[in-house]
Amino acid sequence: MRSFDAIVVGAGQAGPFLAARMVEKGMKVALVERKFLGGTCVNAGCMPTKTLVASARAAHVARRGGEYGVKIPGEIGIDMAVVRQRAQTVIMNARNGLIGWFDGMDGITVIYGQARFEDAKTITVKGERLTAPRIFLNVGARPTIPDMPGIADIDYLTSTSIIDLDSLPRHLVVIGGSYIGLEFAQMYRRFGAEVTVVERGPKLASREDADISDAIADILRSEGIAIHTDADGIAFTKAGGGIKVTIGQSLPDVEASHVLIATGRVANTDDLGLDVAGVVTDKRGYITVDDKLSTNVEGIWALGDCNGHGAFTHTSYNDFEIVAANLLDGEDRKLSDRIPAYALYIDPPLGRVGMTEKQARASGRKIMISTRPMSGVGRANERGETKGFMKVIADAQTQQILGAAILGIEGDEAIHGFIGAMHSGSPYPVLKWAVPIHPTVSELIPTLLGDLKAV
């Protein structure tokens, strides 16, 4: 048996940085990873998908060149092999960077293989026993595959496997109208595929307010993407060289060449032997943690996607920051201090922070709301990208900003003006009197706040 001061299971966006901090403090650390360093973000998520989004946007802008007075002779072609290779290069550069980082770090032992608890202080990896007084789980999540008729009979894609495509689908049917599915839908439409989105619920991006969801659907439809919601009977049948997708009794069947299943993710906790260690999970398989990310078992923490508190790279990294601050720096950081923020990387993107209007109304507060179309933003007009709108919600009594959304050009960057104000606790009049740079998207934030009205 090998003994360590700490064992980190999983090398996503929390584990490696926590391991490095502990090594800096003179600890002996084992980092266990069953596949690739970097986790979902590096290998199958943010980095490769946003590289693909960039290729798709380049094609989209090239097709619009004439609107800007740019003449491009001939048709805009897509070389999917090159598109794929760009994504693979980004993956390997990031992964190899982590490998090199750890190779040069004394005090850390990287072990590849599946970890499984033997008891609350001991894990096994490929038959070898490792023990430590502190164990940190950063095991992430994977695409979930729903139980739908005929799904076992077809070759479907997931958000992981679709990254390896080096040829263009004739007709891609995306099952699932949430964030991952919508990004791939627009991406492949811009590459030149016919695309259909099928969503079981009544609207796309169901977490968002209805006005945001409707605007997202309008953006996608404007690019020729077919959208079917309230799909109550999804089923699959092999049909010649393709796949027949049955959507529901009142909706027509769709003939697909490829099917992407994008119906959510499930935590990678089912094969860790958590029951042996006594670690509690919820009914969805997410590890239950307290406000400092400790599990119910002393000496075991859960960070990142596997704890169900934000399936994003930035929330995973913040989990690392919380644990490191509390254990290594003598601070008192809490999960509940975090203000939720995220983005949807369709084009134009959606930047979101805090409460939706629906959540704010349900809280019982007296609220104020302001909206402004992106067509009223100078930067959007200058760039010829005026789709979407801005929205902010504030507490009428405390003057605190409760939430905001920017669906529009550079919305994923401009939203940080609201994130900073909310994190600092600044009342909205403080931000209203800021003097932002012209011409930017952010310059409309004071104007937007100035139009807040009680509802």
Residue 416 annotated in active site = no
Q: CA 41, 46, 52, 55: dihedral to nearest 10 degrees?
A: -130
Order the strands of the 258-261 sheet from edge to edge: 226-228, 194-198, 171-175, 258-261
Query: Nearest-CA neighbor of 441 among 395, 392, 396, 375?
Result: 375
Please state, in angstroms and rounded to a whole number, the distance separating the CA atoms of residues 174 and 193: 12
Phi and psi angles of residue 206, each rounded to the nearest 5 degrees, phi first: -60, -20
Query: Nearest-CA neighbor of 226 among 198, 248, 190, 201?
Result: 198
Looking up tokens 């369709």 gives 346
Contacts 24+ apart (CB under 8 A), 422-431: 422/339, 422/353, 422/354, 423/339, 425/400, 427/398, 427/399, 427/400, 428/392, 428/394, 428/399, 428/400, 428/401, 428/452, 429/399, 431/401
Out of 171, 228, 309, 438, which one is annotated catalytic? 438
What tokens were used for 414?
């401009």
Query: Cβ distance 411 to 397 under 8 Å?
Result: no
Query: Cβ distance 301 to 289 under 8 Å?
Result: yes
Q: CA 291, 293, 294, 296: dihedral to nearest 10 degrees?
A: 70
Could you tell me which residues are beta bridge partners of residue 317? none
Please state, in angstroms and rounded to a whole number, the distance separating the CA atoms of residues 370 and 354: 15
Query: Nearest-CA neighbor of 225 among 346, 311, 119?
Result: 346
Residues annotated as catalytic are 438
